Amino acid sequence: MGKHAFIFPGQGAQFSSMGKNLYETSSQAQEMYEQANEILGFRISDIMFSGTDEDLKQTKVTQPAVFLHSVIAFKVMGEFSPGMVAGHSLGEFSALVANECLSFEDGLRLVKARAFAMQHACDTDPGTMAAILGLDDSKVEEICDSIEEEEVVAANYNCPGQLVISGSLKGVEIACERLKAAGAKRALPLPVGGAFHSPLMVHAEEELIAAIESAAFRHPRCPVYQNVVAHAVNRPAEIKVNLIHQLTGPVRWTQCVQAMIADGADRFTECGPGKVLQGLVQKINKEVAVDGIS
């Protein structure tokens, strides 16, 4: 019997009116949204249900919004007992609430702290990201490493042939030119305000440490496959360290999914807005069953 894996999306999956149907049909969802409004100090439910795409794009709104949609969908849509969990970047916090390592309240407080820390880092060290399509991971890494005068690294290993790079504005620009010259099908600049998952996020990492140290991490009910290590993790102390390093380290999504399948996952359910992760899982392995709860 295979294992049922639950996966949670990150920033970029948000859309206007997200979560509204859950709020209107579930008293548990209403309670959780009202609790979230109180913890965040503003009515995020109003922005999610009736704000514009532009309103939703602010990091301090986007991150808690995606987290809330994912966690509330998971809690309200059924009695699930995951065999394993993983999340893409921000989604790792949703995954840790799903496997009961973090409470909903602590998870949301950490996401709030992370969003503010990242926004602060973006303002201090402007940077950007770009999606590189149709080139081997090793080639992308090699070219990024060759640019010594600027900061640029491989940041998100999304699926074979799709890798996102991250770094200074100049570094990403130089890398895109060199990667296209090396045969990349496309090098698409992403509409982000910062160099997420790169050393330019070091100030955000420092700000997040205090928040993570003050949260209560319990022993999870099933392993989490964390972005920076791409293998099963069960120990709270190790989970905390990996969460801190996640801001400056890469999202090894391809490797996480491969490790989950190697450990017995044969069904993946994406919880939260959009279907991005379902598409990535299918590109990584066509044999596994994929569905979603939005």
Reported as a single tens digit per residue, the pLDDT across 166-221 is 999 999 999 999 999 999 999 999 978 789 999 999 999 999 999 999 999 999 99
Please give the mean pLDDT across all residues of the chain: 95
Domains of the chain with CATH codes: 3-123+199-293 (3.40.366.10), 127-189 (3.30.70.250)
Q: Tell whether the model's pLDDT for residue 10 goes beyond 90.
A: yes
Is 89 one of the annotated active-site residues of the chain? yes
Q: Given 89, 94, 166, 198, which residue is catalytic?
A: 89
Task: State residue 53's pLDDT score.
Answer: 86
pTM for the full model? 0.95
Q: Tell whether the model's pLDDT for residue 54 goes beyond 90.
A: no
Mean pLDDT of 25-38: 96
pLDDT band at 271 (very low <50, low <70, confident <90, very high): very high
Is 197 one of the annotated active-site residues of the chain? yes
SS (H, E, C) the chain: CCEEEEEECCCCCCCCCCCHHHHHHCHHHHHHHHHHHHHHCCCHHHHHHHCCHHHHHCHHHHHHHHHHHHHHHHHHCCCCCCCEEEECCCHHHHHHHHCCCCCHHHHHHHHHHHHHHHHHHHHHCCCEEEEEECCCHHHHHHHHHHCCCCCEEEEEEEECCEEEEEECHHHHHHHHHHHHHCCCCEEEECCCCCCCCCHHHHHHHHHHHHHHHHCCCCCCCCCEECCCCCCEECCHHHHHHHHHHCCCCCECHHHHHHHHHHCCEEEEEEECCCCHHHHHHHHHCCCCEEEEEC
Q: Tell whether the model's pLDDT for residue 128 goes beyond 90.
A: yes
Task: State residue 294's pLDDT score.
Answer: 78
Q: Given 4, 69, 197, 203, which residue is catalytic?
A: 197
Task: State residue 12's pLDDT score.
Answer: 83
Percent of the chain residues topping a pLDDT of 70: 100
Mean pLDDT of 252-270: 97
